[in-house]
Structure 1
């Protein structure tokens, strides 16, 4: 009888310890996913800061305002440099972890090729659109780009026949309300003349990232997260430099020699390159911790936590570029902050059922 009671107590103690470990692991995953949103805000802020230094200042004063080179080519170049620096950080981590052979071997596999395809959409297309949108309209575009989980839900419904459900539809409508608030703020005169095309490019970015999230989901389920992030960042950096920049140059009628003269100048300009090295580090940390957080607390909740970058991008840019570096124009109108809050609520509703939190509390 005593032995039976002791065994029961041991089982109860083991179950309790297991539950505590799982709760700690879950909470750590949430913290890591939230850090990915903060890192994304810092990455964006340092990209903006880099374009206020050295040769970038010379270009901004010498080139005609609103010209194709200033509006499209140079922001794409900024995205290419950031992603290239981020790829170097990712490669360094991969080598340090002894996973370089895995990285090389994975490139020739079906999941690896799927990751490359997804990275081409989310990297060169999505990231370039995001950086161009930032340069045109400022950090007001960030909540619009944060629509990618909502768009990803719709794409998943079309491609994989996943049901949206009442909660998913509600979340999408909330996100659309946030977009409407941004539209209202653009009509008040608080934003510049390039606000509308900047917001449109942010929507392109959200679409690209939504597609990337859906397509890459299959690939990353069979690829080590570190290897997957390295493939993503390398693909994005090379894609911007070797595909997107030449295409934009040809479309603008400019010469490739002029564009790649700017590339050489940007990569050898130390004042701005220092900022890009830091932005690349935070870009790598953001994507790396997003995947890691997802694996610990679940993709849905990880996505919701990462979506807080809608707050952190304008906040970090205002602190770093506005307060510390002394540049004006980075404080947002109140309605923009309200729109960011609304969109984060919408993203959270799509990703997580709020009632689950109350159920967990009752169960506890």
Structure 2
């Protein structure tokens, strides 16, 4: 009887460990998928900003717009249109899941307020800086923005006294080295005009997203991740559309009416909105996959898997814009691809000890045996 009981217990533990291992693998797959979707979001957003009325604005004659309006006002507007589309997708998803009422109720809670604050940082500031950097320097800025986990780790240490050990410091150093490798391509006579400034602006996006990650971590630990994402996307879209774009129009353009006219033209340009709707969907799915992956494989490993967008971003832009779209300027130097892969490794080291992946596998195999 004892032997039968021992056999049943062993089989139960083996089945449990196998189920746990499959759950972890699924979480890793979902988190990796979030990085891929972020790459497609970047590509479709950039493609949308070449179609319809955007083609006139960025064209040879620039539709009579000044250089500062083209760079910053249109960058903010592109971010606003994308984030608004993403918010619509998020609300549709919440409605389909029967969580729209929970979404409205959470807006009044403290965790909801924290998510709104995080979205105000990651939306109007980081998202706009990301779009502006993309327009100025191309997909080379994407690995730079992937520094946000490293920045988040440093800010977590400063703001919340979180532990920052030698392994994490090594990962941060690798990420910084990678960013310098990428930045080196913007120095010299062969570098395109505006590339260095674009890379500098990309650092602003990384800083904002790093801070957002620190703040949002508190909010999402207390509310449903799907509700948190809906709050994040809705806040980002509305704040971009109703605050930042009018403010830029007032400061850099010919007033709020000027920015309002641009906004109406953008949303009524069917040729462009098709791609913005697609980029907004990819952005929403990316965030959704990242949050779901984190809940299954842990925030640290999920962060490392999501950080693969430092590779997928330039790759998707090259495929969608360069190969399929036939646009010039989307090929990247070999050093950038090497640096992107190196940065992915640095992010993994920040998030966890890579050796633990093999240890977990060995333990699971031993338990099953």
Does the TM-score normalized on the shorter chain lie above 0.5? yes
Matched, 1:23 2:17: no
CA distance in 2, matches of 1:348, 1:132: 28
1:163 aligns to what? 163
Q: CA deviation at 1:200?
A: 1.1
Q: Distance in 2 between matches of 1:179 and 1:192?
A: 18
Question: How far apart are the structure 1 equivalents of 2:309 and 2:66?
Answer: 28
Taking the aligned partners of 1:331 and 1:130, their CA distance within structure 2 comes to: 19
Q: Is the 8 A contact 1:44 1:313 kept in 2?
A: yes
Q: CA deviation at 1:201?
A: 1.0
What TM-score do the two structures reach when normalised by structure 1? 0.97
- Residue among 29, 32, 35 paired with 1:34: 32
- The Cα shift of 1:184 comes to 1.6
Deviations along 1:284-338, one digit per CA (max 9) or x if unpaired, are 0000000000000000000000000011111111111111111111001111112
Q: CA deviation at 1:269?
A: 0.6
Inter-partner Cα distance in structure 2 for 1:99 and 1:160: 32
For residues 219 and 57 of structure 1, do their structure 2 counterparts lie closer, same or farther at Cα, with a shift above 3 Å needed?
A: same
User: How far apart are the structure 2 equivalents of 1:198 and 1:90?
Assistant: 30
The equivalent of 1:119 in structure 2 is 119
The yes-or-no answer on 1:187 pairing with 2:181 is no
Give the structure 2 partner of residue 54 of structure 1: 52
Give CA-to-partner distance per residue, 1:189-212, whole Å, 9 cap, x none.
453111111111111101100111
CA offset at residue 69 of structure 1?
1.1
CA distance in 2: counterparts of 1:304 and 1:359, whole angstroms: 18
SS at match of 1:15: helix
Q: 1:55 to 1:253 in 2, by over 3 A?
A: closer
Aligned to 2:275: 275
Partner of residue 325, structure 2: 325
Distance 2:254 2:34 in 1: 38
Identify the residue that residue 91 of structure 1 maps to in structure 2: 91
Counterpart secondary structure, 1:289: helix
Structure-1 residue corresponding to 2:254: 254
Cα distance, 1:345 vs structure 2:
1.4
Deviation at 1:254, TM superposition (A): 2.3
Stretch moving more, 346-355 or 266-275: 346-355
User: C-alpha separation between the residues in 2 aligned to 1:72 and 1:335?
Assistant: 29
- Pairwise CA RMSD: 1.3
In the TM superposition, residue 65 of structure 1 has moved relative to its aligned partner by: 8.3
SS, match of residue 163 in structure 1: coil
The gaps in structure 2 that reach 5 residues or longer are none
- 2:2 corresponds in structure 1 to 4
* Equivalence for 1:220: 220
Q: Is the 8 A contact 1:137 1:191 kept in 2?
A: no
Rounded to whole Å, the distance in 1 between the matches of 2:313 and 2:264 is: 28
Residue aligned with 1:237, SS: helix
1:188 deviation in Å? 4.1
Report which stretch shifted further, 35-44 or 351-360.
Answer: 351-360
Give the total of aligned pairs. Answer: 362
Q: 1:53-75, CA deviations, whole angstroms, 9 ceiling, x for partnerless residues?
A: 11111111232687111101111
Structure 1 residue 230 displacement after superposition: 0.4
Deviation at 1:253, TM superposition (A): 4.5
Q: CA deviation at 1:82?
A: 0.6
What does the per-residue CA deviation read over 1:85-115, in whole Å, with 9 as the maximum and x for residues that have no partner?
Answer: 1001000010000001100000000000000
Q: Residue 138 of structure 1: CA displacement?
A: 0.5
| Structure 1: tracts of 5 or more residues without a match | none
Q: Is the 8 A contact 2:73 2:252 kept in 1?
A: no
**Residue 362 (structure 1) shift:** 4.2
Alignment correspondent of 2:286: 286
Distance in 1 (alpha carbons) for counterparts of 2:35 and 2:253: 38
Identify the range of structure 1 (270-279 vs 3-12) with the bigger mean alpha-carbon deviation. Answer: 3-12
